[in-house]
Amino acid sequence: MQRPDWAPETIDIERPSVARMYDYYLGGSHNFAADRAAAQAMVAAVPDAPLMAQANRAFLRRAVQFLTDAGVRQFLDIGSGIPTVGNVHEIAQRGAPESRVVYVDVDPVAVAHSREILAGNDRAAVVQEDLRHPERILAHPDVRRLLDFDQPVAVMIVAVLHFISDDDRPGRILRTLREALAPGSYLVLSQASDDGRTEEERAEAERVYRRTDNPLWVRNRAELTAFFDGFALVEPGVVWVPEWRPDSPESAEDAERAVFMGGVGRLGG
C-alpha cells in the first residue's frame, strides 16, 4: 500500500501494530490496511473487542479525574498509544491547568502524532521508549524536565501489561517504577483478563496478536492484583474496568464483556 505522509519511513506498514489496532477499535484514522485486517480478525474472534477498547478508555478518563480531584498534578502515561479525544493532559489540565504530563510509547506513529498535538503545550511532552526499560524512561531528559519525583506522580500503565510477558519480568518493571516514586504517588493499571473467557476465545485472540510485534499475555484478577505490590488499592480494588467508580450503575452492567480488569493503587507515607 502507499505510505501516507504522516507515516515515518522507519515503520513497516505491512506489519500490524497494537497501537494502531487500538486506534482502529476506537474509531481513529491513523492505521493501515494490515492493522485493520488484524483488528477485524480480532473482532471476528472476540466480537466485544471495540467495546473493550472503549471501556478501557473510559476507565482511564475516570481514573485521571479521580487523581486530579485527589490533588495529583504530575502524570507519567506509559504505553499511551495514538492520541485520541480524551488524552490524559486534556482531562487533567481541564480541571488543573498546572498539571504536567509525559507520554511514553514505543510506536513511532503514536509518538509523531503526540508531538503534533502537544506542540505549544509546555506542560506536556512525549518520549519514544519501551515499558520494558523503565530505567531509561525515568532517566529521559524530558521526563526529568517536566516531572519532580520528590512530589507525587501518577504512573499510568493502561492496556499495556498484556503485551509484557512473564519473561520480561513485569514485577521487576513495576518495582523499578515504584522505587522512583514519592509517597502519595499512584499507580493505575489495566490489562486484558482471561477470567470468564473460553479457551477457544483466548487461543484465537493470542493467534491474532502473534501477527504483531507484541503477542498477547492475558492474566487473571489475582495476577493483576499482585502487580500492585507496595501500593494500597483504592476502592473498589481490581475489578472489570466498567465497575471502577462508574459514572452510573447502568454503565457497569455486563462489565465482564469489557475483558479488561483494572485498578488504582496509592503509595503510602
SS3 of residue 23 by DSSP = helix
Q: 128 Cβ partners below 8 Å, 6+ apart?
A: 104, 105, 106, 108, 111
Higher pLDDT, 99 or 54: 99
- The torsion angles phi and psi of 100, rounded to 5 degrees, stand at -120, 135
The C-alpha cell 467508580 sits at 245
Is the pLDDT at 212 greater than 60, yes or no? no
Stretch 153-177: mean pLDDT: 94
Q: What is the CA radius of gyration of the chain?
A: 17
- The torsion angles phi and psi of 134, rounded to 5 degrees, stand at -60, -30
Stretch 8-23: mean pLDDT: 75
Pick the range with the lowest mean pLDDT from 7-16, 108-117, 149-158. Answer: 7-16
> 31 lies in a domain?
yes
pLDDT digit string, tens, across residues 62-104: 999 999 999 999 999 999 987 676 789 999 999 899 999 999 9
pLDDT digit string, tens, across residues 111-147: 888 888 888 999 999 999 999 999 999 999 999 999 9
Check if the beta carbon of residue 101 is closer than 8 Å to that of residue 123.
yes
Element (H, E) at 173: helix 170-179
> 6 lies in a domain?
no
Of 10, 32, 5, 9, nearest in space to 19 by CA:
32
| Residue 199: band (very low, low, confident or very high) from pLDDT cuts 50, 70, 90 | low
- Please report, rounded to a whole number, the percentage of residues in the chain having pLDDT higher than 70: 87
Q: Look up the pTM and report it.
A: 0.85
> 3 lies in a domain?
no
> 44 lies in a domain?
yes
Check if the beta carbon of residue 43 is closer than 8 Å to that of residue 49.
yes
Range of the domain at 139: 18-267
Is the pLDDT at 24 greater than 80, yes or no? yes
Check if the beta carbon of residue 227 is closer than 8 Å to that of residue 176.
no
> 7 lies in a domain?
no
SS3 of residue 262 by DSSP = strand
Give the cell for residue 3: 505510505
Residue 68 CA neighbour count, 13 Å, CB half:
20
Pick the range with the lowest mean pLDDT from 18-32, 82-96, 216-230. Answer: 18-32
Of 211, 207, 210, 3, nearest in space to 109 by CA:
3
Distances (CA, A) of 77 to 4, 28, 230: 27, 20, 19
Stretch 157-166: mean pLDDT: 91
> 177 lies in a domain?
yes
Query: Strand 186-192 and strand 74-78: pairing?
Result: unpaired
> 194 lies in a domain?
yes
Query: Whole-angstrom Cα distance, residue 156 to residue 78?
Result: 6
CATH number at residue 256: 3.40.50.150
Q: How many CB atoms lie within 10 A of CB 36?
A: 15
> 5 lies in a domain?
no
How many structural domains compose the chain? 1
